[in-house]
Amino acid sequence: MSNLTTSIQLTQKSTYKLNNGLHIPVTAYGVYTIPAGDTKDLVYYALEQGYRHIDTAVIYHNQKQTAQGVAAFLKDHPEVSRSDIYFTTKVYNSQHGYEETKAAVEGIAADVKEYIDYVDLVLIHSPKSNKEKRLATYKALQEYVQDPSNPTLHIKSLGVSNYGISHLEELLNWEGLLVKPVINQLELHPWLPHLKLREYLVKNDILIEAYSPLTQGYKLDDPELVELSKKFGLSKAEILLKWSFLQGFIVIAKSVNKPRISENLNILPKGSSDELDQTTHLGVIDLDPEILAALDKPDSHEVLTWNNIDCTEYVDPQ
């Protein structure tokens, strides 16, 4: 499953088609751990650089400021419309359950509706509750998708995050499923490739979204990665982000450093998919086969987030 290709044609404007027919940009700016006071400015800056997909969550406590950043950018850039920007947020574990999720959506609406009108994607942040609560949460969320004119909040798509195969099977086999999840957002990098889970997702037409593709910095001193960086004259971030794009992931890059925000996006060439030039290779993302071979670690299972506990293996308490 890993390293299916050594090159892929992508640009900063490329999108992938979701199983509901809508499209999602291939890269996103994430705001995890960004202080609320800095979020509006950094989201504005990211959009100014060319990002068109912003990823936040209820538990990040900067959802409102994220929406404010989008609104401020749209106000100053009338050539960009709301439909050009993809906005993702997530319902947290403590909000699982039908009524709890309804209240969570009310809270999301209170934070963002004034600024961005609708939300493109809501994810269940993790499976960490129990089957009854997970399905009740999904039941509540899909009601908003099915009724776009509902008075609370228009949600266009639903997905999950940190779901393993057992959690996905529970959802996909549920008789109440009316809105198929479009995304599973996962910690993904060469040290945590999740091959079996990815095969399952591809088989079920659910796109794969990678968070922490830069390992939150934990692996940037990895001797093998450092040596590859020196040998091929590529930054460590460039190697890891390109690796993620070559796996076919939607990639979330997060930084509070403005030059790095730009650098992470500029891994992808500017332009649009219909401008790709086969002669000049505009839009080609590639890595040397030696790099890909070195980073092909199918048996690695190094979890660097969630206190080093793999949420995809979560088992309900008895």
Residue 186 β-bridge partners: 210
Q: How far apart are the first and last CA of the chain?
A: 34
Question: Does residue 154 have a known ligand-binding role?
Answer: no
What DSSP character marks residue 312? G
Assess contact for 162 and 126: CB atoms under 8 A: yes
Angle between helices 131-146 and 98-116 (to 10 degrees): 40
60 is catalytic: yes
Q: How many CB atoms lie within 10 A of CB 153?
A: 19
- The DSSP symbol for 257 reads -
Instruction: Indicate which residue of 60, 115, 163, 211 is catalytic.
Output: 60
Question: CB count, 10 Å around CB of 58?
Answer: 20
Which residues neighbour 42 within 8 Å (Cβ) at sequence distance 6 or greater?
Answer: 29, 31, 34, 69, 256, 258, 261
For residues 89 and 161, the answer to whether their CB atoms sit within 8 Å is no
Give 121-163 as a 3 state SS string: EEEECCCCCCHHHHHHHHHHHHHHHHCCCCCCCEEEEEEEECC
Helix axes 165-172, 195-203, angle to 10 degrees: 20
Q: Report the alpha-carbon distance of residue 283 to residue 159 in Å, rounded.
A: 28
Residues annotated within the binding site are: 125
User: Which residues are catalytically annotated?
Assistant: 60
Residues annotated within the binding site for substrate are: 125
